[in-house]
Amino acid sequence: MGRVLVTGAAGFIGAHVSQALLARGEEVVGLDNLNPYYDPALKEARLQALTGQAAPGAFEFHRLDLADTEGVLGLMAARPDIDRVVHLGAQAGVRWSLEAPFAYTSANVTGHLSILEGVRRSEGRIGHTVYASTSSVYGSRQDGQPFRETDRAERPASLYAATKLAGEMMSKSYTDLYGLPQTGLRFFTVYGPWGRPDMAYWLFTDAMLKGQPIKLFNEGRMMRDFTYVDDIVTGILAALDHAPAAGTHRTYNIGNSRPEQLLDMVAFLEEALGVKAERVLLPMQPGDVPGTFADVSAMKRDFGWEPVTDLRTGLGRFVAWWRRYFG
């Protein structure tokens, strides 16, 4: 068995996936540019945790921007032992895409294409590419029904969502043109230890412990299919281990399939932290959607995967990690 290339290896999900691969005896080539979208010290700490638990030579890290096409192609060509790709590197964040749009086309369009070209040029050596998409591609829905992979995804509500949808379309075209086996996973609101500081649960925890108010957009009447990171990781590995036939591109939802109100998340954090939140109710922000809800029956049917972590348990684990990390 060869090595797995994991892009975004210093990121929230990428570090967890790399750790899980190493734990089962895989060898990993990690790629990340450690950009300053949020504090790079957190990314460095994730990498230190990874290298600390890896067997000698099992984890190799390259600081590289996905939009550096020649650099990415050079790395993938120079490592003939790479036989699978888990492409998680991206510019995340719905709201920041309103302020820095070109960062999203650079990472999520050019960067995605860099990986596709690297896989194509491997001439079949790389047998499966699993890449991250997002529930945001479905756009805004008001009916409360679960999002299904067969639903039309043609009205993304943000530039971030549009760039991720572009990635899906590019992957599909590369499969049709060159026969690349690919699996796209549409993530639904991932949270947990080592998470991203721009996410609501992190912002709320930080503010509550400092005695500061928390901002609740849409007056807290947001529904989210909060998905614990360990469940996401088991889903990614399940998909990775079941490569489709050559010439097949497939897309799956990967979520908790149990949407909960933002106010419920606040209540669980209050319980775990022992702190009462001071709430500031605000209107909906541009680019945001009122609710998400994943139909994950295809993941269960094809891989036997289903989520096992409820929101209260997951947030309790996050708070325990926070206290260890920040002392």
Q: Is the pLDDT of residue 291 over 90?
A: no
Point out the residues that are catalytic. 160
Domains of the chain: 3-190+229-255+294-308 (3.40.50.720)
| pLDDT band with cut points at 50, 70 and 90 for residue 154 | confident
Give the pLDDT confidence score for residue 311 in this predicted structure. Answer: 97
What does the alpha-carbon distance between residue 133 and residue 252 come to, in Å, rounded to a whole number? 9
pLDDT, mean of residues 266-286 = 90
Q: What distance in Å separates the CA atoms of residue 168 and residue 315, rounded to the nearest whole number?
A: 31
Q: What Å distances lie between residue 326 and 90, 176, 318, 322, CA to CA?
A: 26, 48, 12, 6
Edge-to-edge strand ranges of the sheet holding 182-187: 59-63, 27-32, 3-7, 82-87, 128-134, 182-187, 249-254
Contacts of 263 (CB under 8 A, 6+ apart): 216, 220, 221
Alpha carbon 301 to chain centroid distance? Answer: 22
Q: What is the DSSP string of 184-239?
A: EEEE--EE-TT--TTSHHHHHHHHHHTT--EEEEGGG--EE--EEHHHHHHHHHHH
Q: At what angle do helices 200-209 and 262-273 cross, to 10 degrees?
A: 40
Percent of the chain's residues with pLDDT above 90: 82
| pLDDT band at residue 218 under the 50/70/90 scheme | confident
Mean pLDDT of 221-250: 95
Confidence of residue 219 (pLDDT cuts 50, 70, 90): low
Average pLDDT over residues 103-119: 98
Q: CA 123 → CA 80, 83, 130, 131, distances in Å?
A: 11, 11, 17, 19
- Please report the pLDDT score of residue 143 as a whole number: 66
**Is the pLDDT assigned to residue 39 strictly greater than 90?**
yes
Q: Is 84 exposed, middle or buried (0-12, 13-18, 19+ CB in 10 A)?
A: buried
Q: Residue 222: pLDDT band by 50, 70, 90 thresholds?
A: confident
Q: In this predicted structure, which of 129-133, 248-252, 258-262, 299-303 has the lowest mean pLDDT?
A: 258-262
